[in-house]
Amino acid sequence: MRRKNSVPSGIVDAPLETGSQRAAVEVRIPSVLDGRLRTYDRGADNVGAFLRLLGERMTRDLAVSMTGCVHCGLCAESCHYFLSRPDDPTMTPVYKADQIRRIFKRHLDWTGRIAPWWGHAGSPGNDEDLNRLKNIVFGACSACRRCTLNCPMGVDTGLLVRFARGLLTEIGIVPEGVFNVSRDEWETGNQMAVAEEEYLDTLQWMTEELRTEMGTPDVEIPVDRPDCNVLYTINPREVKFDPRSIANAAKVFHVAGEKWTLPKWGWDQTNFGLFSGDDRLGAYVARNVYEAAERLRARRIVISECGHGYRSTRWEGYNWAGLDQKLPTESVVVTLLRYLEEGRIRVDPTRNAEPVTFHDSCNIARSGDLLEEPRRVLGRVCAEFREMDPNRRENFCCTGGGGLLSMAEYRPLRLEAAKVKADQLRATGAKLVCTMCHNCIDGLNDVIKHYRLDMRVVQVLDLVSNALVVPDVHADAGH
């Protein structure tokens, strides 16, 4: 399948086999044993399996994106990889998508079957070819969909990339980090393998901190409380590395007088199925959340600040799980905006005096619907807001999207491609870059550190919590 050419290429040559998969097979972890989590088998007919899955999983919206490209090249400059490596044509969306498209043409499109050489149709010859495809779709694309919205034909390259990832995941040809996180999600129900005890301990710790800070024993972080208005779901990163964000949410819910709860199981709104392309994993994780809401008879699912978590839980998860949506499912930023607009919380923007800019998460701005909501919140809680250029649907990826933060082998290329983001951030002159995504926090922190920018990353909830005017608890007891 590999074409003979001498163009410069930054595509990383990461190895086919990984130690994590060998270890998982050796210790016989349940998800591997029962076939939920696939591992690479050198002796299997992987090319055959890949081609079989290609046919079985093809859908109409994918097929039209496979056939619709006219090779106009207009997508090139929408991609941060290409903008940062302008002499490398293998970084363009059209090239990356063509590596998938060629296989489709050769095996499913009858014009490509009749005369494959005519339209660059091709077939993977061996596992190494599939490994190269892995290094393209996982390693050189964050599936940010910026090219999708810039394609004159409407070709959804982001969708094609996720589809190809899913086929490769099914035969175990995946980056080590993707395998590890998928394993953790299958085995523990959350992507950072947070044990229930650790989860509950962290919530207890944050409850005590909050009580001290607010000077009241009334504030709490309830778990598994039935019949609440809000079932709050979080990112495991919050438990592991940023528990303060849970406390911030609890503080706001308390002040707003909200009846809310976290579930004991099904609290992880993140979903690595989105990144690995594994719809079964996506369905499993999303279903955990929906079932928690049903079990606790919650009236609304609220998703903490997370781009891919929002997209997965609000948009994709119901489709993966085959469940019709029954409950309103919203980002906590929407909840915050409602509290502000209804006067349930009051804020003092002078407490956030430093200039703030906002980074739109790809999964929220291009694959979701929230553009103005975070800005309306920031407009109330910040003294000085500076818009990034470009912004909203045209914003550039934090460069850590698409699960790339978990794939160490592609980190140098990712940081090279981050030059565009660094320039964009620097131009704002802001001291704080706010984002409503935990993944973007880590992605942006990497960019800031690598390019030595004088700014730090915050979330909307951080700024709201900081600006929150906490009323006298006794005076407001009847709220």
Partner 1 sequence: MALPLSESHPMSATLRFFESGLQVGALLFMGVVYVVRLVWLFRFRSRRERTFPAGHEGAGVGYSLMNVAMPWAMESTRKRPWLYAQFVVFHLGVAAAIAATFIIPYRPTLFAVKPVALAFQAVMAAAFLVGVLRLVRRLREPTLRLVSSADDYLSLALMIVFFAAGVLAVPNRFRTAEWTLLLFFGLTAFFLIYVPFSKICHYLYYPLTRYYLGRTMGHRGVLPPRRQAGGPRPSADAAEARPR
Please, which of residues 196-215 interact with partner 1 by CB under 8 A? none
Instruction: Confirm or reject binding of residue 353 to partner 1 (CB under 8 A).
Output: no
Instruction: Confirm or reject binding of residue 291 to partner 1 (CB under 8 A).
Output: no
**Which lies closer to partner 1 via its Cβ, residue 32 or residue 76?**
76
Instruction: Confirm or reject binding of residue 257 to partner 1 (CB under 8 A).
Output: no
Instruction: Confirm or reject binding of residue 476 to partner 1 (CB under 8 A).
Output: no
Instruction: Confirm or reject binding of residue 269 to partner 1 (CB under 8 A).
Output: no
Instruction: Provide the minimum distance between the beta carbon of 316 and partner 1 in the complex, in angstroms, as a whole number.
Output: 9
Token pair recorded at residue 99:
């590596």
CA–CA separation, 188 vs 293, rounded Å?
19
Per CB under 8 A, which region of 170-178, 213-221, 360-368, 402-410 contacts partner 1?
360-368
**Which lies closer to partner 1 via its Cβ, residue 332 or residue 405?**
332
Q: Binder to partner 1 among 393, 411, 419, 450 (CB under 8 A)?
A: 393
CA–CA separation, 245 vs 407, rounded Å?
25
Query: Please, which of residues 34-93 interact with partner 1 by CB under 8 A?
Result: 58-65, 67-68, 70-71, 73-78, 82, 87, 89-90, 92
Instruction: Confirm or reject binding of residue 348 to partner 1 (CB under 8 A).
Output: no
Instruction: Using DSSP, state whether 211 is helix, strand or coil.
Output: helix
Q: Binder to partner 1 among 20, 188, 229, 319 (CB under 8 A)?
A: 319
Residue found by looking up tokens 């964000």 in the block: 245
**Which lies closer to partner 1 via its Cβ, residue 30 or residue 68?**
68
**Which lies closer to partner 1 via its Cβ, residue 48 or residue 390?**
390
Instruction: Provide the minimum distance between the beta carbon of 166 and partner 1 in the complex, in angstroms, as a whole number.
Output: 14
Instruction: Provide the minimum distance between the beta carbon of 294 and partner 1 in the complex, in angstroms, as a whole number.
Output: 15
Instruction: Provide the minimum distance between the beta carbon of 327 and partner 1 in the complex, in angstroms, as a whole number.
Output: 9
Token pair recorded at residue 179:
């395998």
Q: Binder to partner 1 among 19, 30, 154, 257 (CB under 8 A)?
A: 154
**Which lies closer to partner 1 via its Cβ, residue 49 or residue 383?**
383
Q: What sections of 108-173 are H helices per DSSP? A: 110-114, 127-137, 157-170
Question: CB burial class (10 A; 0-12, 13-18, 19+) of residue 346?
Answer: middle
CA–CA separation, 240 vs 270, rounded Å?
14
CA–CA separation, 162 vs 265, rounded Å?
28
* Contact yes or no for 428/357 (Cβ under 8 A): yes
Per CB under 8 A, which region of 34-42, 227-235, 406-414, 422-430 contacts partner 1?
422-430
CA–CA separation, 374 vs 392, rounded Å?
11
Instruction: Confirm or reject binding of residue 258 to partner 1 (CB under 8 A).
Output: no
Instruction: Provide the minimum distance between the beta carbon of 156 and partner 1 in the complex, in angstroms, as a whole number.
Output: 6
Instruction: Using DSSP, state whether 110 is helix, strand or coil.
Output: helix
CA–CA separation, 218 vs 24, rounded Å?
45
* Contact yes or no for 428/454 (Cβ under 8 A): no
Beta-bridge partners for 233: 303
Query: Please, which of residues 93-152 interact with partner 1 by CB under 8 A?
Result: 94-95, 98, 110-111, 115, 117-120, 148-152
How is 143-211 classified by DSSP, letter by letter? ---TTGGG-TT---HHHHHHHHHHHHHHTT---HHHHHHHHHHHHHSSTT---HHHHHHHHHHHHHHHH
Which of 276, 270, 274 is closest to 439 using CA atoms? 270
